[in-house]
Amino acid sequence: MLRIDPDLHAALERWAADDLRSINGQIEFVLKEALRAAGRLKDRPTDPYRSSDDDDDG
C-alpha cells in the first residue's frame, strides 16, 4: 500500500489512463525514468522479443 495525496493519485490515474497503463505500472515507469535520469539505474540489455511496456502492470 502506498499513501499519497489524493490529488497526486488522481493526476497519476489520469496519466496512467492516457498511457494505457495501470496506476502501479505508471508509478513504476515514473520511478524508473527518474532513477535513469539521476544515473542510479542502469539499463538492462535489450530483448528484441520484449517491448518496453511489458514491464508495466497493466
**Residue 52, in any domain of the structure:** no
How many distinct structural domains can be found in the chain? 1
**Residue 29, in any domain of the structure:** yes
pLDDT at residue number 1: 84
Q: Which three cell numbers stand for residue 8?
A: 497526486
Contacts 24+ apart (CB under 8 A), 49-53: 53/21
pLDDT at residue number 14: 98
**Residue 42, in any domain of the structure:** no
Q: Whole-angstrom Cα distance, residue 58 to residue 56?
A: 6
**Residue 13, in any domain of the structure:** yes
Regions of the chain where pLDDT drops below 70 = 46-47, 50-58
Residue 20: domain span: 7-37
